[in-house]
Amino acid sequence: MPVEPVERLENIWAENVFDLSAMQASLPKAVFKSIKKTIMAGEKLDPSIADTVATAMRDWAIAKGALYYAHVFYPMTNLTAEKHDGFISPQGDGSVISEFAGKVLVQGEPDGSSFPNGGIRDTFEARGYTAWDVTSPAYIMETDNGSTLCIPTVFVSWTGEALDKKVPLLRSIAAMDKAATKVLKLLGYDDVAHVNSSCGAEQEYFLIDANFASQRPDLLLAGRTLFGKAPAKGQQFDDHYFGAIPERVQVFMQDVENTLYKLGIPAKTRHNEVAPGQFEIAPYFEAANVASDHQQMIMTVLKHKAKKHGFVCLLHEKPFAGINGSGKHVNWSVGNSTQGNLLDPGDSPHENAQFLVFCGAVIRGVHKYGPLMRAAIATASNDHRLGANEAPPAIMSVYLGTQLEEVFEQIKTGTVTESKQKGVMDLGVDVLPTLTKDAGDRNRTSPFAFTGNRFEFRAVGSSQSVSGPLIVLNTMLADSLDWMSNRLDGELSGGADLNTAILTVLKEVMQEHGAVVFGGNGYSEEWHKMAVEERGLANLPTTADALPVLKEEYIEDLFQKTGVLTSVELESRFEVYAEQYILSIEVEAKLVIDMAKTQIYPAAIDYLSQLSETIASLSNLGVTLNQGSAETVVNLANAVMEATGKLSTALEKHDFADTEAHMMYCATTLRPLMDEVRESADALEGEIADSFWPLPTYQEMLFIK
Ligand code: ADP
Ligand code: MG
């Protein structure tokens, strides 16, 4: 693969994005002013200017070689969906013109009937339609088959129900903005700009040579290996992490980054990850909605470019058993242009007060809605990773860092003397603590850690859309801030001064919710015990345990009162996610059976037949070969078939009381049986001659680049 010339960033940056500057260059002044206002306020596109905008957008796209346009939307699965249409429009006289009217920006009708809707559209007998989300700019995606104008859209039912992940994300930002504004006003600010949430997502992935991947039905169909003996050398030496990036991978990364820069995606860091064959790409943080769209584009570009460079890019959370899996750390903060980052401690006492209020609201949120955070990251694939001593446990807690934890601890008990001695902080009622930022203070075993001026949700899976986690974070913060403003308001009207009111409310937060703050080792057995038994936190090890949280009344209340999801929308999400979980485990189980019967068992038979032939002909010569190996292979082959038989029988069960029971069956019956087949099969791999083994090995896949 020839190395593409490295272009100067300034020359290619956002050249494929119909952003504000592209609009300014192509729209009449009045129209530009109007659309800019719409974008800034996050409002719907004004139909009276839609035609003008559409024409400018089309001309811009055609000048860049686009023949098609696509409404891009984000269904409830973690995928990106596209409906492509040509600009071409046949005329009555047999000629054609290129047409792209404003109405396709305002509203398009994809044939979305095959996208999961969790019963919504059956209930309302309505089609889904898409409409441009003006806060996310249109762009051109270049592929080998030509260029397409892509329009990021919301996907809703005719009756207005959200069928995607974008609508609830936009609503969650609005709810958070409203509640945050109320709090900021109480803190004494008159000028409060729109509060937005920001996200910077770190994406981990594996690269495997495409020649190997094509011989592994499990990688092709399930995205992970269902069989495979651990290599003699795994990641024990830690020599891959931050090691030199292999040249072929570097060329791939450069190609990915060039494409991302043209799309206006600020890819910033890249490095090897812990496991062999594992890498990371992290863009600079952006407004949550744009960051989420960009994250989806990053996943698309990674997969597409990998193919071009002879790789397969695996985004699965656990492609290889026994080797570190992949996560997607979601760095999250909230802020606006008038008060700045509200999760930044700042330098002045006033900024500190504001920070403590917002941080306290987050603590309350994680305590009240930790199970919901767990549900937001619940997928069949992420279950392999959580709690496996490489990723945070399935118990949600908050890591604050030593200093901040101490501050909150003291707010809780109301003792001020100790800290005064250290001269760091003063918790007297009229002076709030002065905090020094300590970004180096990291705890990698926490699912949700404060990292200086943001929180890092570390338990999110590598294949997930970041929208789900962001929706939950924004929504629970909205709820907490709303509670906070009511309590603060109560204290202030009771005659308390602002600092006293803040300390009183924060003390209450810590007394009620402080149990969720934990600075120790999240991987340890002691924590798992203490969290559940002493602190009353939920440990939801599998998706089957976590998803039913969506059906709890307090969760329904949360989404309803914040206006983020109606009951119908929430229920549909439970149905879709549960169905996805069940489907992916059942597909994997079928694959295990197929591969065991048609690849692994036959390999054992072939090997045995050669072995027995050799044993027989040697015995004719009066020589005896040690038959131990033959016996071991026979026993293991039998064990594989026996476990496969059990799994096949288990898969035949179809009568379940409800979806919850079906999920639990997948988690507690099917999964262990799949492991049972695998155990004997992997042992076989260690017994059979390499030349007979039908699947590329871990060693080959992970170490050959
Ligand atoms: P690390 O690997 O140490 O966690 P990285 O540099 O790989 O850190 O990634 C950190 C991510 O956090 C980046 O995407 C960065 O842009 C993002 N980030 C930094 N500040 C903020 C913030 N205030 N809000 C949200 N994300 C942020
Ligand atoms: Mg990182």
> Which tens digit of pLDDT belongs to each residue from 83-126?
778 777 777 777 766 778 887 787 766 555 566 677 665 544 45
Mutate which of 286, 454, 466 for ligand 1? The one with the most ligand atoms within 8 Å of its CB, which is: 454
pTM: 0.93
> Quick one: pLDDT band at residue 61, thresholds 50, 70, 90?
very high
Q: Whole-angstrom Cα distance, residue 243 to residue 299?
A: 23
> Quick one: pLDDT band at residue 81, thresholds 50, 70, 90?
confident
Three-class SS of residue 395?
A: strand
Element (H, E) at 219: helix 217-222
Helices (H), strands (E): how many in the chain? 25, 17
Q: Whole-angstrom Cα distance, residue 226 to residue 622?
A: 43
Ligand 1 centroid – CA 204 distance (Å): 14
Has residue 416 got a pLDDT over 50? no
From residue 613, give the alpha-carbon distance in Å to each of 258, 601, 609, 635.
58, 18, 6, 19
Residue 423, pLDDT score: 39
Q: Whole-angstrom Cα distance, residue 4 to residue 290?
A: 28
The segment with the largest mean pLDDT, out of 97-106, 109-118, 154-163, 284-293, is 284-293
The segment with the largest mean pLDDT, out of 45-59, 267-281, 377-391, 465-479, is 465-479
Summarised one tens digit per residue, pLDDT across range 624-662 is 888 888 999 999 999 999 999 999 999 999 999 999 999
| Residue with CA nearest ligand 1 atom 1 | 202
- CB 585, CB 670: distance < 8 Å: yes
Burial of 267 from C-beta contacts in 10 A (0-12 / 13-18 / 19+): buried
Ligand 1 centroid – CA 200 distance (Å): 5
> Quick one: pLDDT band at residue 425, thresholds 50, 70, 90?
very low
Alpha-carbon radius of gyration of the chain: 28
> Quick one: pLDDT band at residue 233, thresholds 50, 70, 90?
low
From residue 264, give the alpha-carbon distance in Å to each of 26, 113, 284.
19, 32, 11
Ligand 2 centroid – CA 202 distance (Å): 6
- DSSP label of 464: S
Ligand 2 centroid – CA 431 distance (Å): 36
Residue 608, pLDDT score: 95
Q: Closest by alpha carbon to 46, among 91, 105, 118, 94? A: 105
Residue 420, pLDDT score: 38
Mutate which of 280, 285, 466 for ligand 1? The one with the most ligand atoms within 8 Å of its CB, which is: 285
Q: Cβ neighbours of residue 570 under 8 Å, at least 6 residues apart?
A: 550, 555, 556, 559
Q: How close are the terminal C-alpha atoms of the chain, in Å?
A: 14
Q: What does the block give as tokens for 653?
A: 């069960």
| Residue with CA nearest ligand 1 atom 14 | 200
**Least confident window among 158-162, 170-174, 465-469:** 158-162
* Pairing verdict, β 328-336 and 278-283: unpaired
Q: What does the block give as tokens for 388?
A: 């496996």
Has residue 351 got a pLDDT over 80? no
As a whole number, mean pLDDT of residues 238-252 equals 71
As a whole number, mean pLDDT of residues 7-25 equals 91
Give the chain's largest Cα–Cα span.
Answer: 105
Burial of 690 from C-beta contacts in 10 A (0-12 / 13-18 / 19+): exposed
